[in-house]
Amino acid sequence: MREARIKGALVGVEAISPEGLKDVYKGFNATGNALVARLRTFRAHDVHVLGSFIFGLPSDHASTFAATAALADKADITFAQFVMLTPYPGTLDFERWAKDADAAGKHVDGIPYSRHWLIPRAGRPHIYTHHPEMSPEEIRLGTQRTWDQFYSLASVWRRSKSATSVRNRLAFVLVSKLYRQMYANTGITTDSGRAARAVRWSRWLAAPLQKLFAGKPMPELEAPAAAEIESAA
């Protein structure tokens, strides 16, 4: 990947335990220190990792959230996203889940659970499947806490050491905070006030980021005329 000049990769870790990996049909993946070593291999070759983790799997426990955050930190991944289990068409479990949901008559404002992506965000449930140990609110709060822990200012600043200058470290902090605000606060929180503040923060952070990443003007570069485009086609 480094020889191909790839700078970053989304890695679907999904779960950190053997039981969790079986839940997502990835029993062949590594866990524990072996997983940490594999993730750190990316960083050893200057490839940044956005690690993706799923919460709400049948084998998850109350301790899963903190354990996942600890592993993500130990593995030295650059970014992480913590999502709650949601059934989507094309997955192995979706058809069975949708059949049960439709049979139970579950819906929100006339929209069936089995078409949950059509439900307006304000009324959209966060958890769709029953968990044997935790309530939907416990899973949501645990997920929110994990986002808060991984993207705390101290943690973000520590990870920014991979940047080559103070300017780049600042950009890293802003990107991390923007990603956390846009992804977690607007998608997980049930507090409309907090979601509104997240939108405002995202807009404020986006402005300096645009300046940090904007390229130099190229006034000598001319856009091709419409006739040239048609002839090329």
More confident residue, 200 or 134: 134
- pLDDT tens figures, 81-122: 999 998 888 887 888 888 888 888 888 888 988 888 888 877
Q: CB under 8 Å, gap of 24 or more: what pairs does 198-202 form?
A: 201/177, 202/178
Average pLDDT rounded to a whole number, residues 171-196: 71
Residue 166 in this model has a pLDDT that exceeds 80: yes
Whole-number Å distance between alpha carbons of 62 and 59: 10
Q: Is residue 70 part of a domain?
A: yes
Instruction: Note the pLDDT tens digit of each residue in 197-229.
Output: 666 766 666 666 666 556 677 777 777 666 566
Burial of 165 (0-12, 13-18, 19+ CB in 10 A): exposed
Please give the residue range of the domain that contains residue 194.
155-211
DSSP 13-74: EE-SSHHHHHHTT-TTS--HHHHHHHHHHHHHTT-EEEEEEEE--TT--TTHHHHHHHHHHH
Q: Mark whether 143 and 201 lie in a shared domain.
A: no
Same domain, 49 and 144: yes
* 139 plus 169 within the same structural domain: no
Q: Is there a contact between 93 and 87 (Cβ–Cβ < 8 Å)?
A: yes
pLDDT of 55 reads 95
Residue 183 pLDDT: 74
Whether residue 119 is contained in a domain is answered as no
- Give the DSSP letter string of 131-162: -SS--HHHHHHHHHHHHHHHTSHHHHHHHGGG
Regarding beta strands 79-84 and 107-108, do their DSSP bridges make them parallel or antiparallel, or are they unpaired?
unpaired
Give the pLDDT score at 126: 77
Residues 56 and 19 in one domain: yes
The CA distance from 47 to 45, in Å, is 6
Q: Report the pLDDT value the prediction gives residue 227, as an integer from 0 to 100.
A: 58
User: For residues 31 and 23, is the Cβ–Cβ distance under 8 A?
Assistant: no
Q: Of 103, 119, 150, which marks where a domain is finished?
A: 150
Token match 């986002």: residue? 147
> Between the ranges 1-5, 18-22, 164-168, 193-197, where is the mean pLDDT highest?
18-22
Give the model confidence (pLDDT) of 26-71 as tens digits: 999 999 999 999 999 998 998 999 999 999 999 999 999 999 999 9
**Count of domains forming the chain:** 2
Query: In the predicted model, what is the mean pLDDT of residues 165-194?
Result: 74
Q: Are residues 171 and 132 in the same domain?
A: no
Same domain, 136 and 207: no
Q: Residue 40 sits in a domain of what CATH number?
A: 3.30.750.200
Q: Are 140 and 180 in contact (CB under 8 A)?
A: no
Q: How confident is the model at residue 135 (pLDDT cuts 50, 70, 90)?
A: very high
Cα-based distances in Å from 28 to 35, 75, 82, 112, 150: 11, 19, 21, 35, 26
Do 146 and 166 fall within a single domain?
no
Claim to verify: residue 3 and residue 79 sit in the same structural domain: yes
Identify the pLDDT of residue 122.
74
Least confident of 96-100, 102-106, 141-145, 177-181: 177-181
Q: Is 82 helix (H, G, I), strand (E, B) or coil?
A: strand
pLDDT at 175: 85
For the chain, the C-alpha Rg in angstroms (whole number) is 21
Asked whether the whole model's pTM tops 0.95, one would answer: no
Determine the pLDDT at residue 210. Answer: 66
Non-local CB neighbours of 163 within 8 Å, separated by 6+ positions = 169, 171, 172
